[in-house]
Amino acid sequence: MIKIENVHLAYRNQEVIKELSLHFTAGEFCALIGPNGAGKSTLLKSLVKFLEPKRGKIVFNGKSLADWKHKELAKNIALIPQEFQLQFDFKVRDLVLTGRFPYLGYWQNYSRRDIEIAEEVLHRLDLFSLKDKMFSQLSGGEKQRVSIARALVQETEVILMDEAFANLDVNHQLEIMQIVSKINKEQGKMIILVSHNINLASDYCERIVMLKKGKLIADGHPRDIINSVTIKELFDADFDIVENPISGRPNLVYPGKKSFTFDSFAKPEVPSQTK
Ligand code: ADP
């Protein structure tokens, strides 16, 4: 469905993604993980044509992205950004409705059907009671649910989520992951999300892609690729990996005090008293 073939992505002269090849099939649930600056957001941007590859090509449903018109692509792939850069505040209902933009004709207003779709999604994500609230007045978890609602009214086969859990407490991270997982299972949409919560990604996703400095470090089922070696390579840090007794998936355990040596905090040498 999505074929990324020998792709190089760059901003001016700074090469961010280097000769990357990845294939995604319909209905996949995949997490992109890796350190800050690895190129995860850049990769997502390239999948919605916000950034064209310098070399290589990206093919969606058999057609090179270069040949997709933005509006047509937006009916197939939705990107949930890290943060909405809103020029002015929107009511929840109006922001969610903007997901219908790709379906509007020139100067055309929303149809009854567009409004029905938006209202149905607002109900499904338990946002209907907030529909007249301003977006800026919502909590982080509510804002993220609104972003998902907007992507759902776009009615795409693919949803990309950048920094899916940014600024969310653990409870809301779990809530968002459960919502997204349900969308994947029940509606068969392909989800590719960027996550810094590796344990949550491991517990819920069927595939993990590890990126570092624009290169692929590992790609596969969490059970096959999350281990202390790949995590060390990815983050230059030592973590123990244990099996989560509930999900049966590998989880990172913070090393706690055991890995710290306090030598560097040894008492400073006191200069000898000169008499
Ligand atoms: P990640 O999502 O893995 O944290 P990004 O894709 O955001 O990484 O960034 C990868 C590199 O590209 C970083 O060095 C970042 O500074 C650079 N970068 C990201 N966006 C831009 C931009 N719009 N213009 C120039 N450089 C950018």
Instruction: Going residue by residue through the chain, which has 275 residues, state the pLDDT in tens, using 9 for 90 and above.
Output: 999 999 999 999 899 999 999 999 999 999 999 999 999 999 999 999 999 999 999 999 999 999 999 999 999 999 999 877 777 888 999 999 999 999 998 888 999 999 999 999 999 999 999 999 999 999 988 999 999 999 999 999 999 999 888 888 999 999 999 999 999 999 999 999 999 999 999 999 999 999 999 999 999 999 999 999 999 999 999 999 999 999 999 999 987 766 555 555 555 555 555 44
Specify the pairing of strand 77-80 against strand 215-220. unpaired
216 alpha carbon to ligand 1 midpoint, in Å?
A: 16
pTM, two decimal places: 0.91
Question: What is the per-residue pLDDT for 274?
Answer: 47
Longest dimension (CA), the chain: 92
Q: Of 9, 33, 41, 212, which is best to mutate to test ligand 1, by the most ligand atoms within 8 angstroms of its C-beta?
A: 41
- Residue 173 sits at φ, ψ, to 5 deg, of -60, -45
Q: Which amino acid is at 121?
A: V
- Please tell me if the CB atom of residue 50 comes closer than 6 angstroms to any atom of ligand 1: no
Describe the crossing of helices 170-187 and 140-153 by its angle, rounded to 10 degrees: 20
Closest residue by CA, ligand 1 atom 19: 42
Q: How far is CA 188 from CA 89, 102, 201, 224, 271, in A?
A: 32, 21, 18, 24, 70
**Cα four-point dihedral sign 133, 180, 45, 199:** positive
Q: Which atom of ligand 1 is nearest to the CA of 38?
A: 3
Domains of the chain: 2-76+156-265 (3.40.50.300)
Q: Which atom of ligand 1 is nearest to the CA of 36?
A: 4
- Residue 208 sits at φ, ψ, to 5 deg, of -125, 135
Residues 6 or more apart in contact with residue 152 via CB below 8 angstroms: 99, 121, 124, 125, 159, 183
In whole angstroms, give the CA distance from residue 133 to residue 118. 15
Q: Which atom of ligand 1 is nearest to the CA of 43?
A: 6
In whole angstroms, give the CA distance from residue 152 to residue 100. 10
110 alpha carbon to ligand 1 midpoint, in Å?
A: 35
Return the structure tokens found at 215. 């290169």
51 alpha carbon to ligand 1 midpoint, in Å?
A: 12
40 alpha carbon to ligand 1 midpoint, in Å?
A: 8
66 alpha carbon to ligand 1 midpoint, in Å?
A: 22
Q: Which of 205, 210, 216, 218 is nearest to 249 (CA)?
A: 205
36 alpha carbon to ligand 1 midpoint, in Å?
A: 9
